[in-house]
RNA sequence: GUGGUUGUAGCUCAGCUGGUUAGAGCGCUGGAUUGUGGUUCCAGAGGUCGCCGGUUCGAACCCGGUCUUCCACCCCA
């Protein structure tokens, strides 16, 4: 064989059984999305560069896959930029399209572009691949699926409440019990920065705070210091680090800390509203927790922030996230439309279900019976039966070659086909079929009617 | 983008300090067994040792580059 073919870094092929399992997850998610009133849309794999660039911060721009222009693109490159090896400028002149980086920004574009056709509040879901030029790691790929549900055009906090319920419904239906839905509010984070007098360093502050569970209190304080946050400010915020207890207990502590901040107090009220509603409504298997260190990377969140982590004991990053962004469509010139949404990380959920052995055995579609091939005359007899079986809803097939019995039986074994049917000269004469159960080894001669009724079960 | 790590048969992996013709288990193909699979026994096929270059009388092994894998940052699903 010549040089073995390969696929690019961070991409994957999916085998039949993997596709079956992925479809199982996607089906469960879709079912819940639709139960909650979301409708599917799809957007193109690639967008105009200007739609994506600059929407995810500097880091995000670096991770966007750019598509090279067709034709003699170098001719149009700015001479100055080319000579100065200015990659940034050259990129914008040789690449006008880029692969989508997430589903939220294309959705914002969609809403603005179709604003006059949409009925608000508009609830959509979208399950499509996205691409990031990231370094792959466990559960991190360069091509992966996102499953998003968003509502635009409603400020109501009941939306947040419904999203918590939606998370619970999806993970419950997947059999993944004990996930933790962590919640925070951007306004609380702003409140912290305000209270300690470092409002202008909000981003640096939240990025450092977000790392608490990873680098510990000392690490966070060190990083905040490095970013120019004063030690008095850090002193003031320390008690937030060790915040413990139930959702409501944490709320009470935070009320005290943020009493002087209007925006912080607003954030607390929102969290309290959602929590008490959820307490009243109840969750099936998920837990709701308040995590004030939750910041998440996306800068466009303005209210609630969600992140879902796998049940304890499973080493996996977040398996879902989301939040409210009051002005997402503002970046496309349509302001005053509030949106809130959540996302499911399909690939990570897959890994978690696999690790916990939670895929039902029945996810893989398989045929019920294989007919052994004894020759052309017998095959025709079999195919007549197969036709009847199929129209009765039973998946069955004929082994295509008149191969040795051993080979045909083996094939059925490998494919884990539960029944094998033999029909040779003798069966044809008696208008019967020999049905063999591959598990028990038992076999019996049955009529076509019996065959159908047995396999229909 | 930074630092590290990995690559040998279809799969999981051995392979000594650089020394003839690179091995095992599983899997695969054929036979024992021409209408009965899984167990057993016998035989066989299958490798440019990721790729390119260098050092050496000699390289799977040492050196450089490159691709890939996984990991820690960065960031994030």
A328-381 pLDDT, tens digit per residue, is 898 899 988 999 999 999 988 988 888 888 888 778 778 999 999 999 999 999
At A2, the pLDDT band (50, 70, 90 cuts) reads very low
CB contact at 8 A, A304 and A340: yes
Q: What does the pLDDT average to over A109-133?
A: 95
Q: Cβ of A422 < 7 Å from strand B?
A: yes
Q: How far is the CA of A2 from the C1' of B14 (A)?
A: 27
A430-449 residues near strand B (Cβ < 7 Å): 434, 436, 438-439, 441, 443
Q: Cβ of A87 < 7 Å from strand B?
A: no
The CA R_g of chain A, rounded to the nearest whole Å, is 29
A205-264 residues near strand B (Cβ < 7 Å): 207, 211, 214
| Structure confidence at residue A357 (pLDDT) | 84
At A1, the pLDDT band (50, 70, 90 cuts) reads very low
What token pair was written down for A423?
Answer: 């029909």
What token pair was written down for A297?
Answer: 């990377």
Q: What does the pLDDT average to over A62-79?
A: 83
Query: Between A30 and A61, whose confidence is greater?
Result: A30
| pTM, 2 dp | 0.89
Tell me how many helices (H) and strands (E) chain A has: 18, 16
| Structure confidence at residue A71 (pLDDT) | 78
The phi, psi pair for A15, rounded to 5°, reads -80, 165
* % of chain A at pLDDT higher than 70: 97
Q: Cβ of A1 < 7 Å from strand B?
A: yes
User: Could you tell me which residues are beta bridge partners of residue A131?
Assistant: A143
What token pair was written down for A229?
Answer: 């946050």
Q: What pLDDT digit, counting tens, does each position of A134-154 carry?
A: 998 877 899 999 999 999 999
Its ipTM equals 0.84
Q: Cβ of A410 < 7 Å from strand B?
A: yes
Q: How far is the CA of A5 from the C1' of B65 (A)?
A: 22
User: Which has the closest alpha carbon to A110: A345, A341, A346?
Assistant: A341
């Amino acid at each position: 064989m010549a040089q073995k073919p390969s696929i690019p870094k961070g991409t994957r092929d999916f085998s039949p059984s993997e596709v079956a399992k992925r479809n199982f997850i996607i089906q469960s998610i879709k079912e819940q999305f639709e139960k909650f009133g979301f409708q599917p849309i799809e957007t193109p794999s690639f967008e105009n560069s200007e739609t994506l660039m600059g929407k995810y911060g500097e880091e995000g721009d670096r991770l966007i896959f750019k598509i090279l222009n067709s034709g003699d693109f170098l001719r149009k490159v700015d001479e100055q930029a080319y000579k100065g090896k200015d990659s940034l400028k050259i990129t914008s002149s040789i690449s006008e399209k880029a692969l989508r980086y997430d589903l939220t920004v294309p959705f914002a574009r969609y809403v603005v572009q179709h604003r006059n056709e949409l009925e608000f509040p508009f609830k959509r879901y979208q399950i499509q691949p996205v691409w990031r030029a990231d370094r792959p790691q466990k559960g991190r790929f360069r091509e992966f699926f996102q499953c998003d549900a968003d509502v635009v055009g409603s400020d109501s906090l009941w939306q947040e409440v419904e999203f918590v319920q939606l998370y619970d419904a999806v993970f419950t239906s997947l059999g993944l019990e004990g996930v933790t839905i962590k919640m925070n509010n951007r306004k609380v984070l702003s409140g912290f920065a305000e209270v300690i007098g470092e409002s202008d360093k909000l981003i640096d502050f939240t990025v450092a705070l977000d790392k608490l569970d990873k680098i510990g209190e000392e690490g966070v304080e060190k990083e905040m210091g490095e970013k120019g946050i004063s030690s008095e400010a850090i002193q003031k915020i320390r008690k937030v680090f060790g915040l413990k207890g139930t959702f409501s207990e944490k709320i009470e502590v935070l009320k005290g800390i943020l009493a002087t901040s209007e925006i912080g107090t607003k954030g607390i009220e929102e969290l309290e509203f959602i929590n008490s509603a959820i307490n009243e409504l109840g969750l099936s298997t998920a837990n709701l927790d308040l995590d004030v260190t939750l910041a998440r990377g996306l800068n466009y969140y303005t209210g609630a922030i969600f992140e879902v982590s796998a049940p304890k004991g499973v080493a996996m990053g977040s398996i879902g996230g989301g939040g409210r962004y009051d002005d997402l469509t503002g970046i496309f010139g349509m302001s005053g439309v509030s949106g809130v949404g959540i996302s499911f990380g399909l690939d990570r959920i897959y890994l978690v279900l696999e690790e916990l052995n939670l895929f039902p055995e029945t996810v893989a579609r398989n045929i019920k019976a294989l007919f052994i091939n004894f020759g052309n005359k017998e095959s025709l007899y079999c195919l007549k039966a197969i036709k009847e079986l199929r129209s009765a809803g039973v998946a069955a097939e004929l082994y295509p070659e008149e191969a040795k019995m051993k080979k045909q039986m083996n094939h059925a074994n490998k494919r884990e086909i539960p029944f094998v049917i033999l029909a040779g000269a003798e069966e044809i004469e008696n208008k019967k079929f020999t049905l063999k159960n591959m598990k028990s080894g038992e076999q019996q001669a049955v009529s076509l009617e019996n065959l159908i009724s047995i396999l229909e079960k």
